[in-house]
Structure 1
């Protein structure tokens, strides 16, 4: 059988490797504390579930790819409340199946190699889907290292004009997965200026904007001129709705029109009952505040542990992640393997690209009680 050469060239998806290692250890009878994948296990708010069940009989056919008008309006109202920005729900928004599939497919929509814009710039360490989606679209890749001595922000001044001239898309993610770093609004303003000068689309993955612990992070939507800004957001982490699969893309009317043309070829909007649940989720902040407080308590357990053990954290200002430095005599993989021997699953930093070496990522998704138990286990390991 023949398969796509792009697919054939790819290694196993990093978190499949994490899951496989976890299952092997669990089969040995070891109690597992899973901090590997960023899949929240706290229950979805009852009011969101009630909105879903109330809509089960509303429609059984294919949902329109543009989504329900009420959902687009709910997202626009949330963006106004949260970021003080105005989005036209009919021209600047489109719902998606979470954000992962939209991120993966986006380069296929806008890449025009014949026009000399064949380059996609990616953050490293970073979410693997940016790279894989670009490769399937036939793009050339470039990486921008995120380093502690630069606050895990890419050094935009290190990119020369020739590279910018070839760049079609630049991916950023703040608050950042995997480092937990936060970007100031000034960073987005600088990005916007470069994007306008060189005709680059800035793709901002903002899945974690609502999971913060000191002050609310900025959004790329808040720049003075967002003509070249494309924002991807999702309810997965904000509202503990990973299995529901509902997010959105916000962009200028040309990008949204292209997505409206493209998306019926690959699927539809989320099911109508999921969209009704999403309307309830975007309209409520109380459950988000509870989630933030819960992650804050879990985070404090580990920050205290690492401080006692003399283990350094980098970034880690927001998101559900802690970016933890490995001991000097261990790689990210060997450190993760040592923790796995005691049932503690983490993601090696190298799984997010070579610039992630020297770190492991803890996703604070187990319950609060499980986190406390894991801390007790780690007391004897670290």
Structure 2
């Protein structure tokens, strides 16, 4: 067996299953899960129609590069969304969802033969970054997020000795779980570091189309173009249809950026057997070509966040994120419990599932930046999310000592 497999940590949802083992669920409340970031709005019917119409495409092997109309759809969307012009033949590549691509990319670019290679990622983070680094033979380094700056990553906390060994940097904007969006100055800093130390940047942007303000989140390629880096050197962005179009089961996305990195990634994927099904390609072309369903989806998220956030803010520290569909809430100190205890007790009393924040982070620099926080995925319909929020409010109020008791 590959000995590096033993370095992998249990996935957060396996830890959650173990945490909830033995909990007697209250029969008075139907279960509501805010634990998993799985979109649950209905998938647009026209995407399924495109899938059904393409069944005849099963009679041939698909190319790893994808069909020309698919790559053209990627480039057209990048033009529409970011005012960027990328060559569909050399600067975009289909992937079977951003998750598998984020993992595979580390296997492409990390050179384990070099002295103690490092992969830098945010903390808290999407655990695929860590697993990809470990299985590529690198050491993860966790850059902390700063609550005082709306959970922006503190890249200055990464010492030069780490940057010198860094081969790959994962960024996530909008961030999972915090929802923070990287501004242009932050990108400028990372590009300067990449130039100085020669590492590659993988920008995870799968939440880019769910946002709450008038200005959409800045993308990595967009930032590069604005800063005069139109060749996108040492930069790839990763995106998918899962959140944007509510089709996580389609497993469809694409990567875009540096043509040299695309060429190397294509070579890896050709051997890895990662070609996208012709049916999925047809459905993807339809999805990337339509913005109306994306606008409607965004409006639904805006409504539920506008209703749920004030309810929870009355009893715990939580605020509207920059983007994404998560609330990153602090467990009230008055409850006298940690984030895992909070999640278990909430389930036992009110049948609502949330994910402990410490499961999404690692102990680093003397602490776990996810400790005492919980991630709530507002992916269900609005009424269900509001009901969950109401139960959480009741739970906190029922467990909070009265002023008289506190003074005594």
Of 354, 358, 366, the match for 2:372: 358
1:65 aligns with 2:73: no
- Give the one of 286, 295, 299 matched to 2:301: 295
Q: Which residue of 2 aligns with 1:163?
A: 162
Pick from 326, 331, 338: which aligns with 1:326?
A: 331
What's the Cα RMSD here?
A: 1.9
In 2, Cα distance between equivalents of 1:112 and 1:7:
18
| Counterpart mapping for 1:311-322 below 5 A | 311-313=316-318, 316-322=321-327
Name the structure 2 match of 1:142.
141
Q: Relative to structure 1, is the Cα distance of residues 358 and 23 closer, same or farther in structure 2, using a 3 angstrom cutoff?
A: closer
Show CA shifts across 1:238-279 (max 9, x none): 110100000111121111111111112222222111111111
Equivalence for 2:291? 285
Distance (whole Å) between structure 2 residues aligned to residue 17 and residue 272 of structure 1 = 36
Matched with 1:173 is: 172
What's the CA shift for 1:136? 0.6
1:216 equivalent in structure 2: 216
Contact 2:106 2:133 in 1 (8 A): yes
Give the match's secondary structure for 1:250. Answer: strand
Residue in 2 that maps onto 1:13: 11
Structure 1 pair 289/22, CA: closer, same or farther in 2 (3 Å)? Answer: farther
Q: How many residues align?
A: 379
Preserved CA contact (<8 Å) 2:143 2:157 = no
TM-score, scaled to structure 1:
0.94
CA contact (8 A) 1:26 1:32 kept: no
Work out whether residues 179 and 315 of structure 1, in 8 Å CA contact, stay in contact via their aligned partners in 2. Answer: no
1:378 equivalent to 2:375? Answer no
Q: CA deviation at 1:22?
A: 6.4
Change (3 A) 1:21 1:55: farther
Residue 210 of structure 1 aligns to a residue in which SS? coil
Aligned to 1:337: 344
**Unpaired runs of at least 5, structure 1:** none
Structure 2: gaps of 5 or more residues: 362-367, 397-408
Q: Distance in 2 between matches of 1:270 and 1:163?
A: 36
Is the Cα contact below 8 Å between 1:131 and 1:141 reproduced in 2? yes
Are the aligned partners of 1:314 and 1:325 in contact in 2 as well (CA < 8 Å)? no
1:117 Cα shift?
6.9
* 1:62 aligned counterpart, secondary structure: coil
Deviation track 1:57-88 (CA, whole Å, cap 9, x = no partner) reads 22333321111111111011101111111111
Larger mean Cα displacement after TM superposition, 213-222 or 183-192: 183-192
Cα separation, 1, equivalents of 2:298 and 2:49:
22
What displacement does 1:176 show? 0.5
Q: CA deviation at 1:9?
A: 3.6
Which secondary structure state, in structure 1, belongs to the residue aligned with residue 249 of structure 2? coil
Moved >6 Å (runs of 4+): none
Which residue number corresponds to residue 89 of structure 2? 90
CA distance in 2, matches of 1:321, 1:24: 27
Aligned equivalents of 1:306, 1:160: Cα separation in 2: 37
Distance 1:77 1:56 in 2: 25
| CA–CA separation in structure 2 for the residues paired with 1:20 and 1:272 | 39
In structure 1, C-alpha distance between the alignment counterparts of 2:185 and 2:71, rounded to whole Å: 28
CA–CA distance in 1 between the matches of 2:59 and 2:15?
A: 37
Structure 1 Cα separation of the partners of residues 195 and 184 of structure 2: 17
